[in-house]
Chains A and B, each alone.
Chain A
Amino acid sequence: MATYIQIDPTQKLDPFKSVKKLPLEEYFTSGHRTCQGCESALVMKMMAKAAGPRSIILGSTGCMYVANTTYYSTSWVVPWMHTQLGSSGSAALGTSAALKVLMRKGKIKNEPINVIAFCGDGGGADMGVGAISATLTHAEYNSLILMYDNESYANTDIQLSGSTPWGANTTFSSPGKVKRIMHRRWKKNMAGMMAAGHPECKYVATICMSYGLHGMNSIRKALAIGGPTFIHSLDPCPKGWDYDPYLSHEMGELAVNSGVWPLYEVENGLLRLTGRTEQIAAGKIRRVPVRDYLLKQGRFAHFTNDDIDYFQSKIDDMWEKWLIPGVIPFRRDVEADTPPSS
């Protein structure tokens, strides 16, 4: 196979050693209309910083398009293009293929250019899974798809998505007097799904920009490794999750430290827990109770103690009973699931 597939060289993107070593330039600038404290905007900023100037960024519809780039204005200093809600995968693949052709024909200079397509959880985990999956099978095209997951269709006013956690209050699942828990599905395991099902994809990772250096270095690794890659980032959203914006950063830390959001990477088929998650797994730090995470957010304000306990038990399951804790959800034994009655 290797003889047929021509993998183009990528940029050399060594990990940033420390915050002090970051480039000073911003390729995503201020003046955008994301909410105060939007962590997805922080992901955009860090993603652009990590990728550097020779990058093309493609964005599917959602907050990170609408709030950043409407009215003929843009926060992007690097070339940027909007794409359809479900088509981040197609845009990445097509752009990468087009660059390859232009370079082969000598119409543009032959140089490694980062192609990054981002999508929200609605655009990625729901609508765009097919296109993303297809892109991840094309080993000869270098691209990164970054799914910024604010756990709802935020831009159209916080509708439930496949990524919304169990029980959360969204405009499609508001708790009422008769029924308390309106959303009874568990969050899609997008990164695990992409890693497990795409043998051509050399790099899949989960990140959270509350750990900025870690997140940026994952992005650099994904871009440097070659071929199609995928990163899933969890982004606290003050509006959708209903908390005071100043807590944004802390919310991400809590997601990771409570074990709700495990950080890992799968590089050439090799799984590694990373960052704080690695420390939790090694027993160096203890997981904080999910209660501390949930009760800071208005979207879980209707939770009873039973609901919180149930949520905690599912997270404990994930850590203790999954085939690969936090990554592959299969179990060896069948057990009864007993959610609290709503």
Chain B
Amino acid sequence: MSTKGTRIPDWLKVPFAGITPGPSQDKGQNLFPTGNWRSIRPVYRDKLPPCNNACGTNEKIQGYLDLVKRGKYLDAYALIKEDMPFPSVTGRVCYHPCEQACNRGKYDEAISIRAVERFLGDLGQSLKHDVVEAGPSNGKKVAVVGSGPAGHSAAYQLARIGYKVTILEKSSKAGGLNRGGIPDWVLPQHILDREIERLIELGIAIKTNCEVGKDVSWDDLKRDYDACVLAIGLTEPNGVRAEGEDKEGVLYGLPFLRDIGMGTSKVKLGPRVAVIGGGNTAIDCAREALRQGAIEVTMITVEANTDEMPCSPEDLHDMLEEGVDLWHGRALTAVLGAGKVETLQLHPARFSGAINASPITINRNVPAERFAVDNVIIAVGQRASIDWLPQEFKNERGTIKIDRFGRLGDTNFFAAGDIAQFGSGQPLMVVNAVGDGKRVAFNLDKALRGEPLQPRTVAVDVIMDLNRMNMTYFPHFPRAHQSMLSPVTRRKTQVEVIQGFSEKQASEEAGRCFSCGTCNACDNCYLVCPEPCIARPERSNGLYKILVDYCKGCRVCIEECPTGCLEGVPELDFDTGVVRMDTAFAISPGLHGRQAEELLNLASRPAKDI
């Protein structure tokens, strides 16, 4: 072992007097700085858990699960609110990409993150005053067009920064697809109402029945506001270009759900209903049709099987449980009937490519099938309505032309949500719209302050891999399940299908979290170091110090760190003496995010004090 770089203390340079200083708790045996044995140095480095990374708005999932585990529910709620204005909503409707990415899923079952989020969201709903406040006013006015998830999120973040925000919404009620898309039995309206109240509490003005392009013009927006976020979603349903699509009894998914959500629906369904489409909207339509009185509901998809369907497997499962029939590999080619739909004409069909957006090949060389129905609901995607937008800002996809920061040219107009993400490869989901709204709000703020903008999709550094964690410390434990109404009861009512977690369930489920890559103050490193040279200056705070003068670099602490936060870095600077570097640094705001600040000063402190 090299002794280069050993720093000989001054008093050791004089001959032994026969008496050496006694050891003390903080300095160890001054005589032997065994740190010079080391070739690998342990460092604390919080890494990004895969759940945080997969979440469309990068909620600090590991962080709030850890707080829930320790019973600090309000802190957990406050943490989630940094990135998510309405956990009560996403806790119900989100397709939880976080759970798909969860490392625990590779070990036994993924953490039920969405259910814990809902638990926190419902806690937030019950608070008299919300934990967030409007920022100190900066005197600037922003218009947010559209009150769906993207507009909601952008307005929320801008108000927190200090902007005077006005939301312009063309419908009679705010909420976008949260209200006029996602059914009540998934997201009860009173939950959404409460979250919209929270926006008003932040000082945000909401103007409903106010359509940009009709009631307010592009020039009005330019004149009356310092900046503007267009979060107008995709509001127009696509057709299937079948003959007779204009007959009475033919409905489109989006308006069908929207009218029910807004309370303006006049539709009376017959007993036999067909739904055309295989996505989530089609599933919602089929399930809603049962609740609107249909007796036999059949879903007809082009996809050859359930695996190809672009939908959430859970929702599909629940739909089938409710008794909807499912047909595959067929396209609607004509709607037959005298003035009103009576029969559907179907031909065998398939997607010509691997992905669902690719063109459909219909085989018209075989005799058509006939299928008798009273109504057909067509739910095959949505498009934008942007006639009012200046031509220079329209793109070939029929949406708004933006740069990678979400900005329209060099204007102070930004776009966010489905309208911005459509065709970009990003999922069109509530949480992605929320994340986009957040990032675009921050960019808007930067633009007005003349600072450089951040790309909407940010590159991540290190995502914690399960293989780099120590599974010895995690006994297998089954996932907690949310209870559900039985299929027979729920298919006839608007009552919420999925029930929330109890406090006990939430904290047990949070307790299953591995805390991937992020120190959760388990104290294991502190316990296993044989020197001992991992010091814990305070009780339970998770801030550890490695006494680098003494750490021999055995790497036991690294190996035994359950979360993979600790890692080894080569001690490269032995030729020139032991150069001190930060003992801890952080790329995600885990515990060491705080510690990093203190440790930044390490270099300037005398070695003996470290």
Residues of A within 8 A of B (CB): 19-20, 22, 24-34, 36-39, 41-42, 45, 71-77, 212, 238, 245-250, 253
Flag whether B555 is at the interface (Cβ < 8 A): yes
Across the A-B interface, give the 10 residue pairs with the lowest CB-CB distance, nearest first: A31-B29, A37-B554, A30-B550, A246-B555, A36-B554, A30-B28, A31-B28, A42-B530, A41-B530, A30-B531
In contact, B28 and A42 (Cβ under 8 angstroms): no
A-B contact pairs, 6 of them (CB 8 A): A31-B30, A39-B530, A71-B20, A73-B31, A75-B29, A248-B554
Contacts of B533 in A (CB 8 A): 30
Contacts of A33 in B (CB 8 A): 32, 34
How near does chain A come to B571, taking the closest CB pair, in angstroms? 13
Contacts of A39 in B (CB 8 A): 530
Contacts of A250 in B (CB 8 A): 472, 559-560
Contacts of B558 in A (CB 8 A): 246
Contacts of A20 in B (CB 8 A): 523, 539-540
Q: Please, how many angstroms separate the alpha-carbon atoms of A77 and B25 in the complex?
A: 7
Contacts of A24 in B (CB 8 A): 536-539
Interface centre among A42, A212, A246 (most CB of B within 10 A): A246
Contacts of B458 in A (CB 8 A): none
Q: Please, how many angstroms separate the alpha-carbon atoms of A22 and B536 in the complex?
A: 11
Flag whether B18 is at the interface (Cβ < 8 A): yes
Contacts of A247 in B (CB 8 A): 559
In contact, B528 and A31 (Cβ under 8 angstroms): no
Residues of B within 8 A of A (CB): 16, 18-20, 22-25, 27-34, 37, 472, 522-524, 526-533, 535-540, 547, 549-556, 558-560
Which single member of B30, B33, B530, B555 contacts A38 (CB below 8 Å)? B530
Q: Please, how many angstroms separate the alpha-carbon atoms of A144 and B187 in the complex?
A: 65
Given A26-B532, A37-B554, A45-B532, the answer on whether A32 and B472 have CB atoms closer than 8 Å is: no
Which single member of A32, A72, A249 contacts B34 (CB below 8 Å)? A32
Q: A30-B533, A31-B29, A32-B32 are in contact. List 20 more A-B contacts (CB 8 A).
A: A24-B536, A29-B24, A29-B25, A30-B29, A30-B34, A30-B550, A31-B28, A32-B531, A36-B552, A38-B530, A39-B530, A45-B530, A72-B19, A73-B29, A75-B23, A245-B555, A246-B554, A246-B558, A248-B556, A249-B560
Given A31-B33, A33-B32, A73-B31, the answer on whether A26 and B25 have CB atoms closer than 8 Å is: yes
In contact, A30 and B547 (Cβ under 8 angstroms): yes
Q: Please, how many angstroms separate the alpha-carbon atoms of A47 and B18 in the complex?
A: 29
In contact, B530 and A72 (Cβ under 8 angstroms): no
Q: Please, how many angstroms separate the alpha-carbon atoms of A99 and B532 in the complex?
A: 30
Of chain B, the residue at the smallest CB distance from A45 is B532
In contact, A248 and B530 (Cβ under 8 angstroms): yes
Q: Please, how many angstroms separate the alpha-carbon atoms of A24 and B538 in the complex?
A: 8
In contact, B559 and A77 (Cβ under 8 angstroms): no
Of chain B, the residue at the smallest CB distance from A74 is B23
Q: Please, how many angstroms separate the alpha-carbon atoms of A24 and B24 in the complex?
A: 14
Of chain B, the residue at the smallest CB distance from A238 is B554
Contacts of B19 in A (CB 8 A): 72
Which single member of A31, A34, A42, A246 contacts B23 (CB below 8 Å)? A31
How near does chain A come to B3, taking the closest CB pair, in angstroms? 13
Q: Please, how many angstroms separate the alpha-carbon atoms of A27 and B25 in the complex?
A: 7
In contact, B528 and A42 (Cβ under 8 angstroms): yes
In contact, B16 and A72 (Cβ under 8 angstroms): yes
Contacts of A74 in B (CB 8 A): 22-23, 29
Contacts of A212 in B (CB 8 A): 527-528
In contact, A29 and B29 (Cβ under 8 angstroms): yes
Given A30-B533, A31-B550, A212-B528, the answer on whether A77 and B24 have CB atoms closer than 8 Å is: yes
Contacts of B23 in A (CB 8 A): 29, 31, 73-77
In contact, B556 and A37 (Cβ under 8 angstroms): yes
In contact, A36 and B536 (Cβ under 8 angstroms): no
In contact, B29 and A36 (Cβ under 8 angstroms): no
In contact, B530 and A75 (Cβ under 8 angstroms): no
Contacts of B27 in A (CB 8 A): 29
Of chain A, the residue at the smallest CB distance from B34 is A31
Contacts of A28 in B (CB 8 A): 532
Interface centre among B23, B550, B559 (most CB of A within 10 A): B23
Of chain B, the residue at the smallest CB distance from A39 is B530
How near does chain A come to B565, taking the closest CB pair, in angstroms? 16
Which single member of A42, A45, A246 contacts B559 (CB below 8 Å)? A246
How near does chain B come to A235, taking the closest CB pair, in angstroms? 10
Q: Please, how many angstroms separate the alpha-carbon atoms of A238 and B554 in the complex?
A: 10
In contact, A72 and B556 (Cβ under 8 angstroms): no
Contacts of B532 in A (CB 8 A): 26, 28-30, 45
Q: Please, how many angstroms separate the alpha-carbon atoms of A164 and B443 in the complex?
A: 67
Contacts of A76 in B (CB 8 A): 23
Which single member of B531, B535, B540, B559 contacts A41 (CB below 8 Å)? B531
Q: Please, how many angstroms separate the alpha-carbon atoms of A39 and B527 in the complex?
A: 12
In contact, B31 and A31 (Cβ under 8 angstroms): yes
Of chain B, the residue at the smallest CB distance from A27 is B25
Q: Please, how many angstroms separate the alpha-carbon atoms of A64 and B483 in the complex?
A: 58
In contact, B530 and A25 (Cβ under 8 angstroms): no
In contact, A31 and B553 (Cβ under 8 angstroms): no
Contacts of A246 in B (CB 8 A): 554-556, 558-559
How near does chain A come to B234, taking the closest CB pair, in angstroms? 51
Interface centre among A37, A212, A248 (most CB of B within 10 A): A37
Q: Please, how many angstroms separate the alpha-carbon atoms of A297 and B455 in the complex?
A: 51
Contacts of B24 in A (CB 8 A): 29, 77
Q: Please, how many angstroms separate the alpha-carbon atoms of A5 and B523 in the complex?
A: 43
Contacts of A249 in B (CB 8 A): 528, 556, 559-560
Contacts of B536 in A (CB 8 A): 24
How near does chain A come to B338, taking the closest CB pair, in angstroms? 72
Contacts of B524 in A (CB 8 A): 19
How near does chain B come to A48, taking the closest CB pair, in angstroms? 10
Contacts of B16 in A (CB 8 A): 72
Of chain A, the residue at the smallest CB distance from B558 is A246
Q: Please, how many angstroms separate the alpha-carbon atoms of A41 and B529 in the complex?
A: 9
Q: Please, how many angstroms separate the alpha-carbon atoms of A241 and B29 in the complex?
A: 27
Q: Please, how many angstroms separate the alpha-carbon atoms of A24 and B537 in the complex?
A: 7
Which single member of A19, A31, A248 contacts B523 (CB below 8 Å)? A19
How near does chain B come to A286, taking the closest CB pair, in angstroms? 13
Interface centre among B33, B530, B535 (most CB of A within 10 A): B530
Q: Please, how many angstroms separate the alpha-carbon atoms of A249 and B530 in the complex?
A: 10
How near does chain A come to B516, taking the closest CB pair, in angstroms? 20
Q: Please, how many angstroms separate the alpha-carbon atoms of A109 and B558 in the complex?
A: 45
Q: Please, how many angstroms separate the alpha-carbon atoms of A38 and B28 in the complex?
A: 17
How near does chain B come to A22, taking the closest CB pair, in angstroms? 8
Q: Please, how many angstroms separate the alpha-carbon atoms of A38 and B531 in the complex?
A: 8
Contacts of B32 in A (CB 8 A): 31-33, 73
Contacts of B539 in A (CB 8 A): 20, 24
